[in-house]
């Protein structure tokens, strides 16, 4: 896709007072500022020149990672003052994160001018815009705004689940998935006919890395995000992902058990920011609620070569003003 300006920094709205300094890189920029007094809220405007939608495979992330202020809250408003989304602790620890488009938790976001309101916990957001902070905390913050291209499903597995069954597939990452390099990996159950799914991902030692029941925006379907898509980085190595109907439980071991009465066809999609190398793969339904032993010493699953792609994996950005 040709390089275009994704974001443009606008003249700031001087509400609450703040300092502005931005650093730019391909696909991202950072706005820095500070909360200097009790009950202060700052507004940071920006312009998005592309629709961040699942249909366009674009993921927009707004977070406060790297902030000196340890407990943040953010809210996104359109120019009519409508509250689009807000978040308290969606990032690391008590930091905040909003995500839109492909793999995002907050739906799609159309191109346009938006204001990000930021304050310390506890801050309330409502249409208006109406933003009220109840906090006396102060400190500096980072507002990181990043746009990534999340490809369509690299590969998909399908199968059927009877009551109390789970299924799994194995894959190998020959290179790590690292957010700082623009790498991403998403596993989801979109297009499954079984209406209520659960996913769990384990490493080769049987450690549970992540699990999900009902992903925001996917109703009762499931999704796991890694790298630039959120949810932490993944090292190179062997992995196994399980799918089951609700109610399926996951624990280290791996210990996977299902008491689900849901039956039907499932789809497990893998989406990566790299060109995958498909070696071989498959899915095997396994009766539950027996615990399952993970045998990844001799993988017979999917090998995925995740080649490092710096920020060129995302769209180029520039800053005006």
Same domain? For 32 and 135 the reply is: yes
Q: Are strands 72-78 and 112-120 parallel, antiparallel or unpaired?
A: antiparallel
CATH at residue 293: 2.60.120.380
Quick one: DSSP state of residue 301? Answer: S
Say how far apart CA 97 and CA 95 lie, in whole Å: 7
Q: Say what the pLDDT of residue 311 is.
A: 29
Say how far apart CA 74 and CA 95 lie, in whole Å: 9
DSSP codes of every residue in 1-70: ------EEEPPPP-SS----EEEEETTEEEEEEEE-STT--EEEEEEE-S-B-TTTTEEEEEE-TT-SSS
Say how far apart CA 289 and CA 184 lie, in whole Å: 32
Is 186 in contact with 150 (CB distance < 8 Å)?
A: yes
Say how far apart CA 104 and CA 261 lie, in whole Å: 29
Statement: the pTM of the whole predicted model exceeds 0.75 = no
Q: How many domains does the chain have?
A: 2
Same domain? For 178 and 292 the reply is: yes
Domain boundary among the residues 149, 172, 195 is at: 149
Say how far apart CA 273 and CA 314 lie, in whole Å: 9
Q: Which domain holds residue 99?
A: 7-149
CA distances 185 to 33, 83, 182, 259, 314, Å, are 31, 29, 10, 29, 14
The answer to whether residue 321 is domain-embedded is no
The answer to whether residue 320 is domain-embedded is no
Say how far apart CA 221 and CA 267 lie, in whole Å: 10
Give 14's contacts (C-beta < 8 A, 6+ positions apart): none
Same domain? For 160 and 298 the reply is: yes
Written as six digits, the tokens of 159 are 């199968």
φ/ψ of residue 299, rounded to 5: -65, 135
Written as six digits, the tokens of 54 are 């699942």
The answer to whether residue 181 is domain-embedded is yes
Give 294's contacts (C-beta < 8 A, 6+ positions apart): 202, 204, 206, 240, 253, 254
Side by side, which strands form the sheet with 83-87? Answer: 7-9, 42-48, 112-120, 72-78, 83-87
Q: Say what the pLDDT of residue 72 is.
A: 97
Q: Digits of tens for pLDDT over the chain (321 positions)?
A: 332 333 333 333 322 222 222 322 236 788 999 999 999 999 998 888 888 887 887 888 899 989 999 999 999 999 999 999 999 988 888 999 998 887 778 889 998 889 999 999 999 999 999 999 999 999 999 999 888 776 666 788 889 999 999 999 888 888 888 888 878 888 999 889 999 999 999 999 999 999 999 887 677 899 999 987 777 899 988 889 999 999 999 999 999 999 999 999 999 988 876 554 444 444 555 543 334 344 443 343 344 433 333 323 333 333 333
DSSP codes of every residue in 87-107: ESSSSSTT--EEEEETT-SS-
Same domain? For 125 and 172 the reply is: no
CA distances 33 to 8, 112, 167, 274, Å, are 17, 23, 48, 34
The answer to whether residue 1 is domain-embedded is no
Same domain? For 110 and 174 the reply is: no
Q: Say what the pLDDT of residue 21 is.
A: 28
φ/ψ of residue 180, rounded to 5: -65, -25
Q: Say what the pLDDT of residue 151 is.
A: 62
Q: Whose structure tokens read 């300094």? A: 21
Same domain? For 185 and 278 the reply is: yes
Q: Say what the pLDDT of residue 27 is.
A: 60
Is 71 in contact with 94 (CB distance < 8 Å)?
A: yes
């Amino acid at each position: 896709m040709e390089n275009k300006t994704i974001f443009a920094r606008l003249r700031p709205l001087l509400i609450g007072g703040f300092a502005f300094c931005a650093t730019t890189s391909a696909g991202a920029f950072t706005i820095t500022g500070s909360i200097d007094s009790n009950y202060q809220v700052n507004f940071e405007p920006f312009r998005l020149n592309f629709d961040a939608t699942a249909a366009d495979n674009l993921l927009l992330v707004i977070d406060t990672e790297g902030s000196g202020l340890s407990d943040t809250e953010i809210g996104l408003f359109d120019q009519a003052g409508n509250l689009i989304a807000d978040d308290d602790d969606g990032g690391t620890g008590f930091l905040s994160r909003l995500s839109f488009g492909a793999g995002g938790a907050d739906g799609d976001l159309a191109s346009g001018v938006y204001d990000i309101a930021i304050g310390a916990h506890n801050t309330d957001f409502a249409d208006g815009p109406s933003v009220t902070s109840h906090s006396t905390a102060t400190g500096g913050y980072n507002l990181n705004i990043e746009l990534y291209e999340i490809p369509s499903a690299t590969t998909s597995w399908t199968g059927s689940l009877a009551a109390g069954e789970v299924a799994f597939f194995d894959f190998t990452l020959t290179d790590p998935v690292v957010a700082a390099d623009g790498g991403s990996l998403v596993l989801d159950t979109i297009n499954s006919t079984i209406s209520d799914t659960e996913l769990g991902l384990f490493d080769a030692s049987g450690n549970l890395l992540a699990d999900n029941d009902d992903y925001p925006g996917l109703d009762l379907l499931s999704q796991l995000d890694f790298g630039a898509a959120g949810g932490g980085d993944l090292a190179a190595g062997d992995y196994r992902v399980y799918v089951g109907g609700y109610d399926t439980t996951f624990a280290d071991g791996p210990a996977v058990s299902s008491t689900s009465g849901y039956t039907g066809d499932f789809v497990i999609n893998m989406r990566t920011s790299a060109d995958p190398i498909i070696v071989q793969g498959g899915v095997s339904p396994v009766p539950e609620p027996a615990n399952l032993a993970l045998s990844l010493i001799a993988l017979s699953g999917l090998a995925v070569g995740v080649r490092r792609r710096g920020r060129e994996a995302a769209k180029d950005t520039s800053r005006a003003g």
